[in-house]
Each structure stands twice: as structure tokens, then as C-alpha cells.
């Protein structure tokens, strides 16, 4: 309370410095005059009276100095002094102040926006993106993985309790409504929802038989698509639609808010064809998603996958030599190794923006300094000239 009230009083006096200085003069002058008049009444000469008054007072200038030090912020108050210095300088230079304030305001505003957008889109992902720190994304370091390699990984791994492969594609969907709609779809291996730990809200999950060529085609919808296209009609389960022209049965709807991996509307099982089962077909899959087994870590999973990859390269040198499995976390997979750089550059930009008034400041104070130096210089020159002419 006391510190605060002293601070407040000093801040006031800073803002009203000239007035405070005048008042101090008035007050001290009043004191001295009273003393002088009293002394004269006691019979002193005016000169004696004045001398006695100043003696009793004891140092007018030192009193003023002490008074000012107490009134204003002083060097002993470190940070306070800096603040005051800055405030004074800013007050003395409104143009600079305006530019600095606008720069900082824009910088902070823009950065806050970029930060928020980047954070929500890239780092947290859109609300529909499914993520979990137990889920890892697997590809090959030089590209995507082939279906047979995925099968081998799946069979050999101990670090993952489940693995599923996905391949994204746009699908043309038409139904009794007659409206053809292009939807974001995903071909998946049938244990995808098991790996993700999700169960349908309505209907049945995929079964392994759904992968086999020749079994009736089926599809599962997101809640959002079900709501949008079918008005949440539960009767849609079991109905047949055409996907890419092929009659397909809708077997399930997933829970609200869930999609995978991004904003898919519909999932269909991968149908195994001789083409997909070629070891050199690396266009079959987007990526593999794996759920870590209990006790496994990102690290142990990586080292296990590397050794599995080396074994595959030895077994299938023609197709697999030089291809190494790559294990990524959600952010590494979707943002890439640039994640740190993106974050770093956001911070860097912010710092840059905050420090941008500094050079302006330096320039404006240099100008002020050189202004006074020029005056000194010309005064010195005239003095020298005067001296020289005097000498002559």
C-alpha cells in the first residue's frame, strides 16, 4: 500500500513535472521570506536577515535536489527508472510513439491470428481429425508401402497390437435420391476401426471377408455425412447405393465427431486384386496406421520396424532393397519435419516485430544527439574564431 502510494504520487508528479517544480520554488521562497521578515522584526538588517535565513535553511539547492529525488523516480529504482525514461521519451516524441505503437499492435495482432490458425489447423488438426498418441503412421522412407510389405509388417511386428492400411480416393456416390455426389472416401483394410479403437454407432463393423474380391461391396458412413445426406435416417442401414457405379450396401454409421484420417465421408474395404498384391505396386496404399502394443514406445517401434525392413530387403532385394519403413507421429506425419521450423518462424517473426521499433528509436535518438552536437560544434567554432580575431 505504502509502496504503491509513493509510486502513484511520483507518477503524478512526473506528469505534472513543471507545475510541481514551480510549486516547490514557491514553497521554499515563502519559507525564506517568512524567515527574513521575522529576522527584520527582531532588528536585523535586511542583509543580516537574509544571511541568517539561508544559514538556518542550510543549502537551498541541496534541499531541492533531495526533494526532487524523493518526488521523482531515481536511479536507485532500476526498472521504475527505465519505465519513466521510456515514458518521457515517448511523450517527447509523439511521431515515433505512434509508429511504434501501430507497429507493435499490428505485429501482435497478426501474429496472434497466425498463431491461432496454425495451431488449430496444423497442430491440433481440424476437429474431425482423429488422433491419439498411441497411434503411429507408417510409410516407406522413399514413398508408400506395398500391400505385401504391409502384410509382412503386420505378421512380424510385436510393437504394434494392430495395423491397418488405408488408401484415399474420391468416390462417386448415387442413390435413390438420384443425386450424384462426389465424396471423400477411403479404402481401408477391414480392421481399421479396431485399430483406431472406434465402434460404429449404428450397424456392424467391417469383417475380414469384406476385403475378399467377390464378396458383396459394403460401406460405412461418417455421422456428418449421414446427417447431411440422409437426415439421420436409421433406415438407411442395409440400403443399397451406388459407389463408382457399383451397388454397395451401407452397413454402419460411425459416432458423431469421428472421421479418419482427415475429413472423410465414407469408408469402403480394400478389395484385394492381383494388382494390389504385387510387391512392386506402391500406389496401392496411402499409409499404414498402427496402434502401439502395451509397453511399446515410439522408439522401440521404430527400431523394430527398421529391423523388419532390413529383413524384407534381404528377402526381396529386387523390390525392397533400399526401402526402409518410416514411423511418424501424428504431427510428423501431417506437418512433416517442418513442424519445429513453423513454430520457430512464428516466434522469430514475433520477436522481429517487437524489436522493429528499436532501430527507429536509435535513428531518432542519433538525430537528436547529432543535432545538439552540431550546435556545440558551431558554438565552439565561433568561440575559436572570436579568440583568433581577438588574438589578432
Q: Residue 25 interacts with another protein (CB under 8 A)?
A: no
CA 279 to chain centre: 42
For the chain, state the CA radius of gyration: 40
Question: Total residues at the site for another protein (CB under 8 A)?
Answer: 29
Q: Residue 76 interacts with another protein (CB under 8 A)?
A: no
Residue of 25, 26, 141, 277 that binds another protein (CB under 8 A)? 26
Residue of 14, 17, 21, 31 that binds another protein (CB under 8 A)? 31
Residue of 35, 167, 190, 264 that binds another protein (CB under 8 A)? 35
Question: Binding mask 81-120 vs another protein (x if CB under 8 A, - otherwise)?
Answer: ----------------------------------------
Positive or negative CA dihedral for 198, 288, 185, 192? negative
Q: Residue 66 interacts with another protein (CB under 8 A)?
A: yes
Q: Residue 33 interacts with another protein (CB under 8 A)?
A: yes
Stretch that binds another protein, among 68-76, 131-139, 176-184, 190-198 (CB under 8 A): 68-76
Residue of 200, 320, 172 whose CA lies nearest to 258 = 200
Q: Residue 62 interacts with another protein (CB under 8 A)?
A: yes
C-beta of 13 vs 157, nearer to another protein: 13
Q: Residue 378 interacts with another protein (CB under 8 A)?
A: no
Q: Residue 355 interacts with another protein (CB under 8 A)?
A: no
Instruction: Kindly state the smallest distance separating residue 381's Cβ from another protein, in Å.
Output: 42
Question: Binding mask 307-346 vs another protein (x if CB under 8 A, - otherwise)?
Answer: ----------------------------------------
Q: Residue 51 interacts with another protein (CB under 8 A)?
A: no
C-beta of 2 vs 389, nearer to another protein: 2
Residue of 18, 41, 47, 58 that binds another protein (CB under 8 A)? 58
C-beta of 38 vs 255, nearer to another protein: 38
Instruction: Kindly state the smallest distance separating residue 90's Cβ from another protein, in Å.
Output: 25
C-beta of 67 vs 96, nearer to another protein: 67
∠ CA(131), CA(135), CA(141), 5° rounding? Answer: 110
Q: Residue 229 interacts with another protein (CB under 8 A)?
A: no
Residue of 19, 70, 91, 228 that binds another protein (CB under 8 A)? 70
Instruction: Kindly state the smallest distance separating residue 13's Cβ from another protein, in Å.
Output: 9
Instruction: Kindly state the smallest distance separating residue 74's Cβ from another protein, in Å.
Output: 12
Residue of 229, 252, 227 whose CA lies nearest to 239 = 252
The grid coordinates of residue 288 equal 499404414
Stretch that binds another protein, among 24-32, 170-178, 219-227, 255-263 (CB under 8 A): 24-32
Stretch that binds another protein, among 53-61, 163-171, 197-205, 287-295 (CB under 8 A): 53-61
Three state DSSP letters for the chain: CHHHHHHHHHHHHHHCHHHHHHHHHHHHHHHHHHHHHHHHHCCCCHHHHHHHHHHHHCCHHHHHHHHHHHHCCCHHHHHHHHHHHHHHHHHHCHHHHHHHHHHHHHHHHHHHHHHHHHHHHHHCCCCCCCCCCCEEEEEECCECCCHHHHHHHHHHCCCEEEEEEEEEEEEEEECCCCCCEEEEEEEECCCHHHHHCCCCCEECCCCHHHHCCCCCCEEEECHHHHHHHHCCCHHHCCCEEEECCEEEEEEEECCCCCCCCCCCCEEEECCCCCCCCCCCCCCCCCEEEEEECCCCCHHHHHHHHHHHHHHHHHHCHHHHCCCCEEEECHHHHHHHHHHHHHHHHHHHHHHHHHHCHHHHHHHHHHHHHHHHHHHHHHHHHHHHHHHHHHHC
Bridging pattern class, strands 218-221 and 246-253 = parallel
Q: Residue 27 interacts with another protein (CB under 8 A)?
A: yes
Instruction: Kindly state the smallest distance separating residue 42's Cβ from another protein, in Å.
Output: 13
C-beta of 5 vs 372, nearer to another protein: 5
Furthest C-alpha separation in the chain: 130
List of residues contacting another protein (CB under 8 A): 2, 5-6, 9-10, 23-24, 26-28, 30-31, 33-35, 37-38, 56-60, 62-63, 66-67, 69-71
Amino acid at each position: 500500500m505504502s509502496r504503491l502510494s509513493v509510486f502513484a504520487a511520483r507518477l503524478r508528479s512526473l506528469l505534472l513535472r513543471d507545475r510541481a517544480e514551480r510549486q516547490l520554488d514557491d514553497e521554499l521562497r515563502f519559507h525564506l521570506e517568512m524567515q527574513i521578515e521575522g529576522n527584520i522584526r527582531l532588528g536585523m538588517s535586511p542583509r543580516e536577515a537574509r544571511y541568517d535565513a539561508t544559514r538556518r535553511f542550510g543549502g537551498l539547492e541541496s534541499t531541492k535536489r533531495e526533494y526532487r529525488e524523493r518526488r521523482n523516480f531515481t536511479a536507485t529504482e532500476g526498472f521504475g527508472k527505465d519505465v519513466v525514461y521510456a515514458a518521457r521519451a515517448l511523450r517527447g516524441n509523439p511521431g515515433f510513439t505512434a509508429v511504434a505503437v501501430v507497429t507493435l499492435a499490428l505485429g501482435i495482432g497478426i501474429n496472434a491470428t497466425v498463431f491461432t490458425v496454425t495451431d488449430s489447423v496444423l497442430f491440433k488438426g481440424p476437429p474431425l481429425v482423429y488422433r491419439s498418441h498411441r497411434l503411429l503412421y507408417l510409410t516407406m522412407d522413399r514413398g508408400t508401402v506395398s500391400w505385401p510389405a504391409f502384410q509382412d509388417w503386420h505378421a512380424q511386428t510385436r510393437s504394434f497390437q494392430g495395423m491397418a492400411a488405408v488408401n484415399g480416393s474420391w468416390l462417386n456416390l448415387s442413390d435413390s435420391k438420384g443425386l450424384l455426389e462426389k465424396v471423400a472416401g477411403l479404402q481401408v483394410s477391414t480392421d481399421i476401426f479396431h485399430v483406431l479403437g472406434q465402434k460404429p454407432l449404428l450397424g456392424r463393423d467391417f469383417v475380414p471377408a469384406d476385403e475378399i474380391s467377390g464378396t458383396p461391396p459394403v460401406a460405412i458412413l461418417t455421422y456428418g455425412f449421414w446427417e447431411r445426406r440422409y437426415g439421420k435416417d436409421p433406415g438407411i442401414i442395409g440400403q443399397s447405393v451406388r459407389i463408382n457405379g457399383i451397388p454397395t450396401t451401407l452397413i454402419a454409421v460411425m459416432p458423431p465427431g469421428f472421421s479418419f484420417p482427415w475429413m472423410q465421408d465414407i469408408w469402403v474395404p480394400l478389395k484385394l486384386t492381383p494388382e494390389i498384391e504385387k510387391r512392386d505396386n506402391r500406389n496401392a496404399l496411402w499409409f499404414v496406421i498402427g496402434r502401439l502394443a502395451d509397453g511399446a514406445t515410439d522408439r522401440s517401434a521404430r527400431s523394430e520396424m527398421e529391423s523388419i525392413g532390413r529383413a524384407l530387403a534381404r528377402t526381396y532385394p529386387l523390390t525392397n532393397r533400399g526401402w526402409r519403413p518410416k514411423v511418424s507421429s501424428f504431427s510428423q506425419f501431417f506437418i512433416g519435419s517442418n513442424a519445429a521450423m513453423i513454430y520457430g518462424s512464428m516466434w522469430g517473426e514475433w520477436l522481429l516485430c517487437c524489436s522493429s521499433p528499436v532501430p527507429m528509436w536509435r535513428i531518432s535518438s542519433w538525430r537528436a544527439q547529432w543535432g545538439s552536437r552540431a550546435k556545440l560544434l558551431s558554438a565552439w567554432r565561433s568561440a575559436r574564431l572570436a579568440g583568433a580575431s581577438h588574438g589578432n
